[in-house]
Chain A
Amino acid sequence: KQEVTQIPAALSVPEGENLVLNCSFTDSAIYNLQWFRQDPGKGLTSLLLIQSSQREQTSGRLNASLDKSSGRSTLYIAASQPGDSATYLCASQGGSEKLVFGKGTKLTVNP
């Protein structure tokens, strides 16, 4: 059974800092790995989706990487801003088509 872990559970950084969020998964037989952002009391917004054949995806200040062999994905946020404060969730998708979510990393960017 796939298990997805995100460390740390919470992270606080000063504005302008570059940061990395980590996601690990136990079963490397995945179709894709997706990163989401969740604001308090809101739904999830898809940030980046990395197909199993890809190594990374980029969108603006965000870069997500995938290493299936080691069961790891990272989300890199460059030049962080207070507006980046949110909870970031990763989810893997395998053959069952179901997403398996981590518990998230709560990010606070301090002005």
Chain B
Amino acid sequence: DGGITQSPKYLFRKEGQNVTLSCEQNLNHDAMYWYRQDPGQGLRLIYYSQIVNDFQKGDIAEGYSVSREKKESFPLTVTSAQKNPTAFYLCASSIVPGNQPQHFGDGTRLSIL
């Protein structure tokens, strides 16, 4: 079945460490997105990509980095500069950027050791 796969499901980060969250989709979607969800909060956009080798900052990009070397992959790196990384991270994709529903993965929960 087509869908979005996020891994790992749970991730732990030590102080000063960078960690990378994986997001893979086999839906042949052009656009991909990364969101952060905190308890009792709505989703906030970190980064998005409308096409391979191009991406834009969302509302809370500081302390994060991404790459889009392949259409199906959009990994997110949480750097040591992100001082409050504990959250639930969701990856999404849509057929084309804009007026289409977004499809979501099952998320990665990141915690600090």
CA distance A49 to B102 in the complex (A): 10
Smallest Cβ distance from A27 to chain B, in angstroms?
15
Question: Is A45's CB under 8 angstroms from B99's CB?
Answer: no
Smallest Cβ distance from B36 to chain A, in angstroms?
11
Q: Does A88 contact B (CB under 8 A)?
A: no
Give the residues from 79 to 102 in chain B that come closer than 8 angstroms, CB to CB, to chain A. Answer: 90, 92, 97-99, 101-102
Smallest Cβ distance from B68 to chain A, in angstroms?
16
Question: Is B42's CB under 8 angstroms from A34's CB?
Answer: no
Residues of A within 8 A of B98 (CB): 31, 93, 97
The count of residues in chain B whose C-beta lies closer than 8 Å to any C-beta of chain A is 25
Residues of A within 8 A of B58 (CB): 98
A46 partner, pick from B45, B50, B90, B102, beta carbons under 8 A: B102
Smallest Cβ distance from A89 to chain B, in angstroms?
7
Known: A31-B98, A44-B104, A49-B101. A98 touches B42 (CB 8 A): no
Question: Is A51's CB under 8 angstroms from B42's CB?
Answer: no
Q: Does B63 contact A (CB under 8 A)?
A: no
Residues of B within 8 A of A31 (CB): 98-99
Q: Does A85 contact B (CB under 8 A)?
A: no
The count of residues in chain A whose C-beta lies closer than 8 Å to any C-beta of chain B is 25
Smallest Cβ distance from B111 to chain A, in angstroms?
13
Task: Give the interface segment out of A14-22, A60-68, A72-80, A100-108.
Answer: A100-108
Q: Does A32 contact B (CB under 8 A)?
A: yes
Question: Is A97's CB under 8 angstroms from B97's CB?
Answer: yes
Question: Is A89's CB under 8 angstroms from B45's CB?
Answer: no
Taking A4-B42, A31-B98, A44-B92 as known contacts, 9 extra A-B pairs with beta carbons closer than 8 A to each other, sorted by chain A number, are A41-B107, A41-B109, A42-B107, A43-B105, A43-B107, A44-B104, A49-B101, A98-B48, A103-B40
Top 6 A-B pairs ranked by shortest CB distance? A101-B42, A43-B104, A44-B104, A101-B43, A46-B101, A43-B106
Show 13 A/B contacts (Cβ-Cβ < 8 Å), sorted by A: A34-B102, A41-B109, A42-B106, A43-B107, A44-B90, A46-B104, A89-B42, A91-B43, A97-B97, A99-B43, A99-B102, A101-B43, A102-B42
